Amino acid sequence: MSNFKIAVCQMLITNHKRDNLKKAEAFIREAAAAGSQWVVLPEMFNCPYDNKYFPEFAEAFPGATTTLLSDLAKELELFIIGGSIPEHCEDKIYNTSFIFDSQGRLTGKHRKVHLFDIDVAGGIRFQESEILSPGKSVTVVKTPQCPVGVAICYDMRFPELMRLMALEGAKVIVIPAAFNMTTGPGHWELLARTRALDNQVYFVTASPARNLEASYHAYGHSMIVNPWGTVVAQADEKEGIVYAEVDLGLVEKVRRELPLLMHRREDIYEVRKKGWEYSI
């Protein structure tokens, strides 16, 4: 069991796909040159986070974006979690993360399960379901280092999904995510640290940088949290790359010394499905 270096690329996204792809390539090459074995891109890294852009920027697989990621993964011998892009499949559009191994092979993909449909008074209204369709899968991918769970943004608010990934063997959970200036300041770090603690994993969030000229202002603050709930690396709102070393030995140590995953009372949880008996 060995440690490995992970890079999270916090990109400033524009409304020009070609420019976004050039920037993603530059960031991936920089991360590889710095010795990273895994590189993570943000949610909707080739497209502004805005419903009106999703149909215009959507690609079927394989397409320009996924071909670029595959070629870079193979050339640089990297494991790339390709943030997410609008994926066109049949007559639907999904918010999808494509994942490539160091041979450039598509080793997994995650379609966002929980669509971001919110209306916060005095804050933000966004309805992904007006354009996007939901995925239906729990995504855990094997890597040479360890299994990794991948989900997208709003998915991280649902502990059931995160726990399923941990139970399927994930020791790292990666979340490309574009929280905003309403939800980000209150919930971003709190959720990331809680999910790391809940599941005793490294929890990695990858946000776009904040573009004040865009219609949607991302919170930024991409971070890497260890299984003890400590933030080991974090960006601010600006563009840049966040690096950290993932210590798989720490995952095993925390799970051994505080074995909450082993202490789960599935007998009680199963009873709840049949009708709970409350004691007062």
Domain with residue 109: its CATH number is 3.60.110.10
Residue 226 falls within a domain, yes or no?
yes
Residue 280 falls within a domain, yes or no?
no
- Residue given tokens 């792809």 in the structure block: 21
- Residue given tokens 């805005």 in the structure block: 50
Q: Provide the number of structural domains found in the chain.
A: 1
Q: What pLDDT score was predicted for residue 27? A: 98
| Cα torsion 161, 153, 255, 257: sign | negative
Question: Is the pLDDT assigned to residue 42 strictly greater than 70?
Answer: yes
Q: What pLDDT score was predicted for residue 280? A: 46
Would you say 132 and 155 are in contact if contact means Cβ atoms under 8 Å apart? no
What confidence tens digit (pLDDT) does each residue in 192-238 have? 999 999 999 999 999 999 999 999 999 999 999 999 999 999 999 99
Structure tokens at 18: 């070609």
Residue 126 falls within a domain, yes or no?
yes
Question: Is the pLDDT assigned to residue 278 strictly greater than 70?
Answer: no
What confidence tens digit (pLDDT) does each residue in 1-29 have? 579 999 999 999 999 999 999 999 999 99
What confidence tens digit (pLDDT) does each residue in 50-62 have? 999 999 999 999 9
**Helix orientation angle between 64-76 and 17-33, rounded to the nearest 10 degrees:** 10
Q: Which of 216, 190, 192, 210 is nearest to 202 (CA)?
A: 192
Provide the residue range defining the domain that includes 204: 4-274
Residue 124 falls within a domain, yes or no?
yes
Residue 70 falls within a domain, yes or no?
yes
Residue 110 falls within a domain, yes or no?
yes
| Spatial separation of the C-alpha atoms in residues 220 and 37, rounded to whole Å | 23
Q: Could you count the other beta carbons within 10 Å of the beta carbon of residue 185?
A: 12
Residue 279 falls within a domain, yes or no?
no
Q: What φ, ψ does residue 63 adopt, rounded to 5°?
A: -140, -170
Burial class (CB in 10 A: 0-12, 13-18, 19+), 70: buried
Residue 269 falls within a domain, yes or no?
yes
Side chain identity at residue 267, one-letter code: D
Q: Could you count the other beta carbons within 10 Å of the beta carbon of residue 252?
A: 14
Side chain identity at residue 204, one-letter code: V
Kindly list the catalytic residues.
Answer: 43, 112, 153
